Amino acid sequence: KHRKTLEGKTVLITAGPTYEAIDPVRFIGNHSSGKMGFALAAEASKRGAKVILISGPTSQKIEDSNIEIHKVTSAKEMFDEVFKYYEKVDIAIASAAVADYAPKEAAKEKIKKVENSLTIELIKNPDILKTMGERKAKQFLVGFALETENEDENAKSKLVKKNLDMIVLNSLRDEGAGFRNDTNKIKILTKNKNSEFPLKSKNEVAKDILNFMESQILK
Protein backbone atom coordinates (compact mmCIF):
# COMPACT_ATOMS: atom_id res chain seq x y z
CA LYS A 1 0.00 0.00 0.00
CA HIS A 2 1.28 3.41 -0.93
CA ARG A 3 1.23 6.60 1.04
CA LYS A 4 -0.06 9.32 -1.29
CA THR A 5 2.90 11.58 -0.69
CA LEU A 6 2.52 13.35 -4.04
CA GLU A 7 -1.24 13.84 -3.90
CA GLY A 8 -2.25 17.10 -5.56
CA LYS A 9 1.09 17.47 -7.36
CA THR A 10 1.59 17.47 -11.11
CA VAL A 11 4.84 15.88 -12.25
CA LEU A 12 6.27 16.28 -15.74
CA ILE A 13 8.72 13.55 -16.79
CA THR A 14 10.76 13.31 -19.99
CA ALA A 15 11.81 9.81 -21.04
CA GLY A 16 13.43 7.80 -23.78
CA PRO A 17 15.70 8.83 -26.64
CA THR A 18 15.12 11.37 -29.36
CA TYR A 19 15.51 10.56 -33.04
CA GLU A 20 16.94 13.23 -35.33
CA ALA A 21 16.09 12.57 -38.97
CA ILE A 22 18.89 12.35 -41.54
CA ASP A 23 16.54 11.37 -44.38
CA PRO A 24 13.19 9.54 -44.57
CA VAL A 25 14.77 6.23 -43.48
CA ARG A 26 17.66 7.16 -41.18
CA PHE A 27 18.17 9.00 -37.94
CA ILE A 28 20.68 9.87 -35.23
CA GLY A 29 19.61 8.38 -31.93
CA ASN A 30 20.90 6.71 -28.78
CA HIS A 31 20.41 3.59 -26.69
CA SER A 32 17.78 4.88 -24.24
CA SER A 33 14.91 2.40 -23.81
CA GLY A 34 12.65 4.66 -21.75
CA LYS A 35 12.68 2.21 -18.81
CA MET A 36 14.02 4.70 -16.26
CA GLY A 37 11.50 7.40 -17.16
CA PHE A 38 8.55 5.01 -17.27
CA ALA A 39 9.55 3.59 -13.86
CA LEU A 40 9.58 7.13 -12.46
CA ALA A 41 6.16 7.83 -13.96
CA ALA A 42 4.67 4.65 -12.46
CA GLU A 43 6.11 5.40 -9.03
CA ALA A 44 4.98 9.04 -9.04
CA SER A 45 1.48 7.91 -9.99
CA LYS A 46 1.42 5.35 -7.13
CA ARG A 47 2.22 8.24 -4.81
CA GLY A 48 -0.86 10.12 -6.00
CA ALA A 49 0.66 12.52 -8.52
CA LYS A 50 -0.83 13.46 -11.86
CA VAL A 51 1.89 12.59 -14.35
CA ILE A 52 2.62 14.12 -17.74
CA LEU A 53 5.04 11.71 -19.41
CA ILE A 54 6.70 13.08 -22.54
CA SER A 55 8.55 10.29 -24.27
CA GLY A 56 10.68 9.77 -27.33
CA PRO A 57 10.39 6.53 -29.33
CA THR A 58 10.21 3.52 -27.00
CA SER A 59 8.52 0.14 -26.72
CA GLN A 60 7.66 0.76 -23.05
CA LYS A 61 3.96 0.64 -22.26
CA ILE A 62 2.02 1.91 -19.33
CA GLU A 63 -1.69 2.07 -18.65
CA ASP A 64 -2.58 4.23 -15.76
CA SER A 65 -5.35 6.79 -15.56
CA ASN A 66 -3.04 9.18 -13.67
CA ILE A 67 -0.43 9.15 -16.43
CA GLU A 68 -0.88 11.12 -19.65
CA ILE A 69 1.57 9.95 -22.31
CA HIS A 70 2.71 12.37 -24.98
CA LYS A 71 4.78 10.75 -27.72
CA VAL A 72 7.40 12.75 -29.58
CA THR A 73 10.25 11.91 -31.92
CA SER A 74 12.84 14.67 -32.10
CA ALA A 75 14.40 16.96 -29.49
CA LYS A 76 12.58 19.94 -31.01
CA GLU A 77 9.24 18.15 -30.66
CA MET A 78 10.08 17.20 -27.09
CA PHE A 79 10.99 20.82 -26.36
CA ASP A 80 7.66 22.11 -27.74
CA GLU A 81 5.63 19.48 -25.87
CA VAL A 82 7.41 20.14 -22.56
CA PHE A 83 6.76 23.87 -22.70
CA LYS A 84 3.05 23.38 -23.32
CA TYR A 85 2.85 22.13 -19.72
CA TYR A 86 5.94 23.25 -17.83
CA GLU A 87 4.51 26.45 -16.42
CA LYS A 88 1.76 24.57 -14.57
CA VAL A 89 3.69 21.63 -13.09
CA ASP A 90 5.06 21.35 -9.54
CA ILE A 91 7.90 18.97 -10.32
CA ALA A 92 9.83 18.23 -13.51
CA ILE A 93 12.16 15.26 -13.95
CA ALA A 94 14.32 15.06 -17.09
CA SER A 95 15.31 11.45 -17.64
CA ALA A 96 15.25 11.60 -21.45
CA ALA A 97 18.44 11.11 -23.41
CA VAL A 98 18.04 14.08 -25.71
CA ALA A 99 20.25 14.31 -28.78
CA ASP A 100 22.55 17.31 -28.43
CA TYR A 101 22.80 17.76 -32.22
CA ALA A 102 20.53 17.20 -35.20
CA PRO A 103 21.21 17.22 -38.96
CA LYS A 104 20.93 20.79 -40.23
CA GLU A 105 18.36 19.60 -42.76
CA ALA A 106 16.73 16.22 -43.20
CA ALA A 107 17.07 15.15 -46.83
CA LYS A 108 13.69 14.90 -48.57
CA GLU A 109 14.62 11.66 -50.33
CA LYS A 110 16.70 8.71 -49.21
CA ILE A 111 20.38 9.62 -49.50
CA LYS A 112 21.97 7.55 -52.27
CA LYS A 113 25.16 5.59 -51.83
CA VAL A 114 27.49 7.36 -54.25
CA GLU A 115 30.57 8.91 -52.70
CA ASN A 116 33.11 7.15 -50.48
CA SER A 117 32.48 9.57 -47.70
CA LEU A 118 29.42 11.48 -46.64
CA THR A 119 29.37 14.56 -44.49
CA ILE A 120 26.30 15.53 -42.53
CA GLU A 121 26.26 18.96 -40.96
CA LEU A 122 24.87 18.95 -37.42
CA ILE A 123 23.33 21.86 -35.54
CA LYS A 124 22.91 22.12 -31.80
CA ASN A 125 19.48 21.20 -30.45
CA PRO A 126 17.79 23.33 -27.80
CA ASP A 127 18.64 22.21 -24.26
CA ILE A 128 15.24 21.39 -22.80
CA LEU A 129 16.37 21.04 -19.21
CA LYS A 130 18.51 24.17 -19.28
CA THR A 131 15.51 26.12 -20.57
CA MET A 132 13.37 24.65 -17.77
CA GLY A 133 16.02 25.93 -15.35
CA GLU A 134 15.88 29.41 -16.87
CA ARG A 135 12.09 29.49 -16.68
CA LYS A 136 11.91 27.98 -13.19
CA ALA A 137 9.35 29.52 -10.86
CA LYS A 138 7.72 27.16 -8.35
CA GLN A 139 8.95 23.97 -10.01
CA PHE A 140 11.25 21.54 -8.25
CA LEU A 141 13.64 20.56 -10.99
CA VAL A 142 15.39 17.17 -11.22
CA GLY A 143 17.94 16.45 -13.93
CA PHE A 144 19.93 13.40 -14.91
CA ALA A 145 23.58 13.17 -15.87
CA LEU A 146 24.85 10.26 -17.93
CA GLU A 147 28.61 10.25 -17.72
CA THR A 148 31.57 8.16 -18.80
CA GLU A 149 34.37 10.07 -17.00
CA ASN A 150 34.83 12.78 -14.34
CA GLU A 151 31.34 11.83 -13.25
CA ASP A 152 30.88 13.90 -10.08
CA GLU A 153 32.46 17.01 -11.53
CA ASN A 154 30.38 16.87 -14.71
CA ALA A 155 27.14 16.20 -12.82
CA LYS A 156 27.84 19.03 -10.38
CA SER A 157 28.48 21.38 -13.25
CA LYS A 158 25.14 20.41 -14.90
CA LEU A 159 23.37 20.95 -11.56
CA VAL A 160 24.65 24.53 -11.45
CA LYS A 161 24.51 25.45 -15.16
CA LYS A 162 20.95 24.16 -15.60
CA ASN A 163 19.70 25.65 -12.31
CA LEU A 164 18.53 22.29 -10.93
CA ASP A 165 17.42 21.37 -7.42
CA MET A 166 18.96 17.92 -7.70
CA ILE A 167 20.69 15.73 -10.25
CA VAL A 168 20.74 11.96 -10.63
CA LEU A 169 24.09 10.70 -11.85
CA ASN A 170 24.52 7.36 -13.61
CA SER A 171 27.81 6.25 -15.06
CA LEU A 172 28.37 3.93 -18.00
CA ARG A 173 31.48 2.75 -16.14
CA ASP A 174 29.21 0.94 -13.65
CA GLU A 175 28.14 -2.53 -14.69
CA GLY A 176 24.34 -2.77 -14.98
CA ALA A 177 23.84 1.01 -14.99
CA GLY A 178 22.45 3.38 -17.61
CA PHE A 179 20.83 2.47 -20.93
CA ARG A 180 18.52 -0.50 -21.58
CA ASN A 181 19.30 -2.51 -18.42
CA ASP A 182 16.48 -3.25 -15.99
CA THR A 183 18.85 -2.01 -13.29
CA ASN A 184 20.64 1.22 -12.55
CA LYS A 185 23.22 2.52 -10.11
CA ILE A 186 22.87 6.14 -9.17
CA LYS A 187 24.28 8.92 -7.09
CA ILE A 188 22.13 11.93 -6.23
CA LEU A 189 23.73 15.34 -5.87
CA THR A 190 22.37 18.62 -4.58
CA LYS A 191 24.22 21.83 -3.81
CA ASN A 192 25.29 20.52 -0.42
CA LYS A 193 24.52 16.82 -0.27
CA ASN A 194 25.62 13.60 -2.02
CA SER A 195 23.93 10.21 -1.66
CA GLU A 196 25.16 7.04 -3.27
CA PHE A 197 22.93 4.02 -3.89
CA PRO A 198 23.75 0.40 -4.77
CA LEU A 199 22.74 -1.32 -8.03
CA LYS A 200 18.97 -1.91 -8.00
CA SER A 201 16.07 -2.49 -10.35
CA LYS A 202 14.90 0.69 -12.09
CA ASN A 203 11.62 0.42 -10.16
CA GLU A 204 13.55 0.54 -6.89
CA VAL A 205 15.78 3.32 -8.20
CA ALA A 206 12.65 5.34 -9.01
CA LYS A 207 11.58 4.98 -5.37
CA ASP A 208 14.97 6.18 -4.13
CA ILE A 209 14.83 9.20 -6.44
CA LEU A 210 11.31 10.17 -5.35
CA ASN A 211 12.07 9.54 -1.65
CA PHE A 212 15.10 11.79 -1.89
CA MET A 213 13.13 14.40 -3.80
CA GLU A 214 10.31 14.40 -1.24
CA SER A 215 12.82 14.82 1.58
CA GLN A 216 14.20 17.89 -0.24
CA ILE A 217 10.80 19.39 -0.98
CA LEU A 218 9.50 18.94 2.56
CA LYS A 219 12.76 20.21 4.05
Q: Residues 6 or more apart from 215 whose CB is under 8 A from it?
A: none
Q: Report whether 78 contacts 38 (CB < 8 A).
A: no
Question: What is the residue-wise DSSP string for 56-83?
Answer: -S-------TTEEEEE--SHHHHHHHHH
Active site residue 30: yes
The single-letter DSSP state of residue 135 is T
Nearest-approach distance from CB 167 to ligand PMT, in angstroms: 8
Instruction: Check residue 101 for interaction with ligand PMT (CB under 6 A).
Output: no
In 3D, which of 148, 142, 213, 153 has the Cα closest to residue 178? Answer: 148
Residue 1 marked in a binding site: no
The single-letter DSSP state of residue 17 is B
Nearest-approach distance from CB 183 to ligand PMT, in angstroms: 10
| Among 23, 68, 90, 127, interactor with ligand PMT by CB under 6 A | 127
Residue 127 marked in a binding site: yes
Which amino acid would we find at residue 16? G
Rounded distance, CA 31 to CA 58, Å?
10
The site that binds ligand PMT (CB under 6 A) totals a number of residues, namely: 27
| Among 74, 95, 139, 171, interactor with ligand PMT by CB under 6 A | 95
| Among 22, 40, 49, 128, interactor with ligand PMT by CB under 6 A | 128
Site mask for ligand PMT (CB under 6 A), range 152-191, x = bound: ------x-----------x-------xxx-----------
Torsion (CA) 60, 173, 149, 38 in degrees, nearest 10? 20
Residue 219 marked in a binding site: no
**Window 48 to 87, contacts with ligand PMT (CB under 6 A):** 75
Q: Report whether 89 contacts 11 (CB < 8 A).
A: yes
**Window 12 to 41, contacts with ligand PMT (CB under 6 A):** 14, 16, 32-36
| Residues forming the active site | 30
Residue list for the binding site: 100, 110, 126-129, 144, 158, 162
Applying CB under 6 A, which residues contact ligand PMT?
A: 14, 16, 32-36, 75, 94-98, 100, 125, 127-129, 143-146, 158, 170, 178-180
